[in-house]
Amino acid sequence: MMPGLHALIYQVPSENASRDGKGMVDCATVDVPTMDGDPTQNAHQRTTANNEKEECIATAVSSRGTPHHETHQVNGMSIVRQQLRERGVSAAGTDIIMASWRPGTEKQYRPHVNKWIQFCDRRHINPLNPAVTDIVNFLSDTFHRGVGYDSVNTARGALSSLGIVVDGCRAGNHPLVNRLLRGVFNLRPSKPRYAETWDVQVVLQKLRTMEPLCNLPLKELTLKLVMLMALTQAARVQTLHLLMLKNIRIGKDSVCVWLGGNIKQCRPKFNVQFVEFKAYAKDRRLCVYETLKMYIEQTERLRNDVDQENGNLFISVIKPHKNVTKDTIARWIRIMLNMSGVDTGKYSAGSVRSAAASKAKTMAVPITYIMAKAGWSRETTFAKHYDKEIVQELDTFQEAVLE
């Protein structure tokens, strides 16, 4: 099952709540299980009463007389599960389908799905069988909350993910919905987060001063390594967070580090399982290979046996030296940017990806190579979101970025 969802409580009134008087008299508070299967306080009761609870939840979401939206919170993704089961999909098949939503996608969709349930609740609409006008009105309400095209488009995708079919079309692909989205784009078009990007050279200058490696405190060594990895791979914070110490292979001029899970750009035809960091002989002060070897050596005595066998590559710089979160790695990148004079009020940790890719392009690296390195499947993605103005020249990604 998909991780990342906390347990949400569906408060069901003990009295009839539907307009036709057919409420759920015997359904008290129902615990909707978390998507990652974590037990809640009532886990010991769930085994014997599971079927009764599922019936209560099914009644709640399919009835046109749902309880008032202010009396409950709904885990929208549980409705997806319910709908699959109602279509005859087995429990095992449902689990696999639910795993198709990445945690990030689920996190994006969740608020829109919950708002959709509340919207339908107020208007006594079956959320799984609406009219196209209901969908248009919901998306219009979303737009009038002041959000832009991207947010409305995400809401459309969330409804499509529920498997709603209207007039033979998926909810998000109905001609009237498509026409609405075009209007949203014309009225409030999406824009890239950054119109420009920072110069990689100022960060490289700072990195060159962080020498010699053997004398650097763990914090500075960590900051240098994280930044070099992000630059030379155009890597997301997620990728750095998934790097594992286990099965790491150190060669003569490269280090191969395996990933502990799927990164965002992974797909059936592009399944990244490891990242290779190559030596940079032209300037050892900017060599990610040498920096990584020194980091492994310095942190070896700080790790316990479990961390050395199965832990992540990056550990905290203060005691106890445990695996760090993505937020910590992002903070390290921002610290490094700030130390280099980059405006961290304007640029986030994610801006490294754009800065590195933009510099590689100015150094005449072919677009196809940049796309392959960063995991983009379409050139328009790079052109719209990552191709910013920066200068320099060479013909391979790492050589260009570090020049």
User: How does pLDDT run across 11-36, given as a tens digit for each residue?
Assistant: 333 333 333 333 333 333 333 333 33
Give the Cα separation of 178 and 232 in Å (integer): 40
Instruction: Check: CB of residue 168 under 8 Å from CB of residue 302.
Output: no
Sign, Cα dihedral of 83, 89, 94, 100: negative
Give the Cα separation of 59 and 86 in Å (integer): 12
From first to last of the 403 residues of the chain, give the pLDDT tens digit. 333 333 332 333 333 333 333 333 333 333 333 333 333 334 334 333 444 433 333 333 333 333 333 334 456 677 777 777 887 889 898 888 888 777 777 788 889 988 998 899 899 988 888 999 999 999 999 999 998 888 999 999 989 888 788 988 888 899 999 999 999 999 988 776 666 778 888 999 999 999 999 999 999 999 999 999 999 888 888 889 989 988 889 999 999 988 876 666 655 555 567 788 999 989 999 999 999 999 999 998 888 765 666 688 999 998 888 889 999 999 999 999 999 999 888 888 888 888 888 887 777 666 666 666 655 555 455 444 444 444 343 445 666 667 6
Preceding omega of 212 cis (within 30 degrees of 0): yes
Pick from 89, 52, 165, 7: which is nearest to 60 by CA? 52
Q: Which CATH number fits domain 200-347: 2.120.10.30, 3.40.50.850, 1.20.120.10, 1.10.443.10?
A: 1.10.443.10
Assign 3-state DSSP to the chain and report helix, strand, coil percentages, each to 5. 50, 5, 40
- Predicted confidence at residue 267, as pLDDT, reads 57
pTM, whole model, 2 decimals? 0.58
- Backbone φ and ψ for 242, nearest 5 degrees, come out as -85, -5
- Predicted confidence at residue 14, as pLDDT, reads 33
Tokens of 60: 């709640």
Tokens of 157: 């995708």
Tokens of 42: 């009532």
Distance separating the N- and C-terminal Cα atoms of the chain: 45
Q: Give me the residue label for tokens 């990610």.
A: 288
Report the helix count and the strand count for the chain, using DSSP H and E: 17, 7
- Predicted confidence at residue 374, as pLDDT, reads 56
Instruction: Check: CB of residue 370 under 8 Å from CB of residue 361.
Output: yes
- Predicted confidence at residue 57, as pLDDT, reads 36
DSSP code at position 270: B
Give the Cα separation of 256 and 331 in Å (integer): 25
Pick from 338, 314, 339: which is nearest to 325 by CA? 314
Give the Cα separation of 343 and 351 in Å (integer): 11
Task: Measure Cα distances from 185 to 120, 153, 160, 296, 380 in Å.
Answer: 25, 10, 19, 49, 17
Pick from 328, 324, 329, 322: which is nearest to 303 by CA? 322
Sign, Cα dihedral of 37, 40, 45, 46: negative
pLDDT tens digits for range 102-123: 777 778 888 998 899 889 989 9
* The amino acid at 74: V
- Please state the domain extents for the chain: 8-187, 200-347
DSSP code at position 249: E
Task: Measure Cα distances from 143 to 31, 77, 183, 317, 386 in Å.
Answer: 33, 22, 11, 44, 26
